[in-house]
Structure 1
Amino acid sequence: MAPVLPPHQTAGLQEAVPPRTLDRREGPYGEVVLRQRGGTDGAPAVYEIIANGCFLMDTSDGRSERLLMDAALAELPAGRERPSVLIGGLGVGFSLARAAAEPRWGRIAVVEREEAVIDWHRSGPLSAVSAKALADSRTEIVHTDLVAHLRAPGDGRYDALCLDIDNGPDWTVTDDNSGLYSPAGLAACHRALTPGGALAVWSAQPSPAFEQTLRNAGFHGVRTEEIPVARGVPDVVHLARKGA
């Protein structure tokens, strides 16, 4: 199945040489595929993750993933030492690599529901991005569904939540992911944060409706930071804080 991309990402992506499929698996949430573009004739290899025919991310540009982590850390109250962070979605590993490169983070938990994605990092091509971060003593990989993990009993487990499991609140990979952006899902995020904790949510496009849902869920300081892209609307990171 050819990947279905958000409309603003479709222009100009045709290449003379088609991508090469490195792995394809059927899991409990559907099909996941790892593909490679380039890597021949001196061209750098770019790895792509496709889920259920939907382009998720690739290794061509990690600016938005780095912003996701940096903005969440900057949102935390001054003086908070060794804050813990949950990264929702291992993806191509940029967010984890950024977190592990920052000595101010304490515990770094990464929740990933696709076993294939974890394998691609532990013993596959994506280890080039994440090997050092996976070896960091602060890093913990949690193989489970993010929504289920957040809804598990327990309050104030993390100082920051950095979530990147879809193309955004308005473009989910699977229908059940929409629960993360619902009032109930955001209530679970709120409970999982320590007082003053930060929530950062990646999106392929701005969502004013999601900003209002964050406010309705009791979050403060709701705002959106943009990351310019080569064409179309910018990627964004939605930011919010739990009250102290």
Structure 2
Amino acid sequence: MTASYDIPVVIDRREGPYGEVVLRRHGALLQIIANGCFLMDTSDGRSERLLVDAALDALDGRAEPKVLIGGLGVGFSLAHASADPRWGHITVVEREGAIIDWHRDGPLAQLSAAALADPRTKIVRSDLLAHVNETSDTYDALCLDIDNGPDWTVTEDNTGLYGPAGLASCARVLKPGGVLAVWSAQPSPEFEGTLRNAGFHQVRTEEIPVARGVPDVVHLAVGPG
């Protein structure tokens, strides 16, 4: 008897300004692939939810805080933020038009339709670093889920976000006492040091155990303002 295995099926493939982006289905899962490298799928979402919850908890009861979510991904962070009435306003910055389309009119709408219909939600198509450099808005929390985190980026341009200049831009759009939460595919003591050197304080890391390998983590820090 021959064993059968699910074979990934490509649903959509787009060529954008940052390379190729693919949405595919593998069994019950939807997966996003960027430039041939797996980015994320719909299998879990615990770390994305922790990203949002940890930022809100660190704000210590601030009324109707504004959150900026960097990276739409498969929509876990947005959906979780929208499900919490304590957030006053939710802005999501996503640079890949294909990913936004997959949420608005495609298969990923099953995860994000209610959140996109939420009047608190605003979707901005932009590179996250460009947005924080150009916007006049300020936020109580920045929840960043860009690429694979500080130490392993699929797109080279994303490395600048996690360096001194990128963190200075993030600090600029944080309100006094605002919180920066950064998802990473692995712990990064070096990034903790970069945060401190950039003037952030109360720096800490929360781990999310995974089935195999090193844990996902959320790096948390309070802005220098």
Give the TM-score normalised by the residue count of structure 2: 0.96
- 1:172 corresponds to which of 153, 162, 173: 153
- 1:207 corresponds to which of 188, 191, 195: 188
Structure 2, unaligned stretches of length 5 or more? none
The residue aligned with 1:239 is 220
C-alpha separation between the residues in 1 aligned to 2:164 and 2:205? 19
C-alpha separation between the residues in 2 aligned to 1:203 and 1:94? 15
Deviation at 1:195, TM superposition (A): 0.3
Alignment of 1:214-225 (within 5 A): 214-225=195-206
2:124 pairs with 1:135: no
The residue aligned with 1:52 is 35
Aligned-partner SS, 2:30: strand
- 1:91 corresponds to which of 73, 77, 99: 73
Which whole-Å deviations, capped at 9, do the CAs of 1:83-142 have from their partners, x for residues lacking one? 000000000000000000000001100000000000000010000000000000000000
Deviation at 1:168, TM superposition (A): 1.0
The residue aligned with 1:63 is 46
- 2:128 corresponds to which of 146, 152, 176: 146
2:23 pairs with 1:34: yes
The residue aligned with 2:7 is 18
C-alpha separation between the residues in 2 aligned to 1:220 and 1:140? 29
2:102 pairs with 1:120: yes
Code of the aligned partner of 2:38: F
C-alpha separation between the residues in 1 aligned to 2:62 and 2:145? 24
Deviation at 1:80, TM superposition (A): 1.4
Code of the aligned partner of 1:200: A
Deviation at 1:67, TM superposition (A): 0.1
Code of the aligned partner of 2:145: D
Code of the aligned partner of 1:232: G
Which whole-Å deviations, capped at 9, do the CAs of 1:54-94 have from their partners, x for residues lacking one? 11110000100000000000111x34100000000000000
The residue aligned with 1:110 is 92
Give the TM-score normalised by the residue count of structure 1: 0.89
C-alpha separation between the residues in 1 aligned to 2:90 and 2:83? 11
Aligned-partner SS, 1:199: strand
C-alpha separation between the residues in 1 aligned to 2:85 and 2:56? 11
C-alpha separation between the residues in 2 aligned to 1:243 and 1:166? 25
Contact 2:94 2:126 (8 Å CA) reproduced: yes
C-alpha separation between the residues in 2 aligned to 1:24 and 1:171? 23
Identity %: 74
C-alpha separation between the residues in 1 aligned to 2:100 and 2:70? 13
Contact 2:11 2:23 (8 Å CA) reproduced: yes
- 1:100 corresponds to which of 62, 82, 91: 82
Deviation at 1:153, TM superposition (A): 5.2
Structure 1, unaligned stretches of length 5 or more? 1-14, 39-44
Q: Which aligned segments of 4 or more residues in structure 1 are displaced greater than 4 angstroms?
A: none
